[in-house]
Each structure stands twice: as C-alpha cells, then as structure tokens.
Amino acid sequence: MAKSEAFARIKGDVLDIVRAVPRGRVCTYGTVGRHLDVMARHVAYVLATLTDDERAGLPWHRVVSDTGDTNRTKRGRGDEQRARLAAEGVPLSPKGAVADLAAVLWVPD
C-alpha cells in the first residue's frame, strides 16, 4: 500500500465533488478540502496533477480560490479557467477574479 494510495482516494472524492458542481456555479478549494477533511493545498494539487483525460469530463474550472482569484496560478491555466467561467455565465472582475463569489458559490452536500 503506497502512500500515494491515500492521495488517490482524496483525488477520487475531489473529482466526484467537482463533477457535482452545477453549471454557472463555483466552489472554493477550502470548501471542498474541508468537506473531505483535507487541506486546500491537497485539493489544489489534485487538480494540478489531473491528466488531460481526467479534466476532459471534469469542470475543474469551477473550482477557484477563496478570494475567487483565478490568476493566482503560476501554471498559466488561469486564462483558460476564466474563459470557461465567462462562458458558463459567471461574472468576473476586471482583474480576473469572480465578481460575486458568494452569489455563485456552491457548497457540496
């Protein structure tokens, strides 16, 4: 049993929750992480290590930081995320962050 297995379990849960996020709605790493009893960094890392096949049917762009800032990433995927959010009808600030996070914030059951 490798230590990566524990990470794989979290990964599956994260994918399940992210997949349950309705269109036009977003969820924060902290919310998902707290729901899974894991740290926000773990959720972020899970999505960061997602393969092209994984994120193909996964609305990973609906997961944003607590501040709603999508440009915080250093991997340059923030541009794609913000474009997808705009297509979903999520209002974004000129800075690239969610305008009204509380309005579009979705909490996992």
Residue selected from 24, 55, 96, 108 as contacting DNA according to rule CB under 7 A: 55
21 binds DNA (CB under 7 A): no
Provide CB contacts within 8 A for 87, sequence distance 6+: none
73 is a site residue for DNA (CB under 7 A): yes
Cα angle at 82 between 46 and 68, to 5 degrees? 70
Stretch that binds DNA, among 45-53, 84-92, 100-108 (CB under 7 A): 45-53
Q: Can you tell me which of 11, 13, 17, 28 binds DNA, judged by CB under 7 A?
A: 28
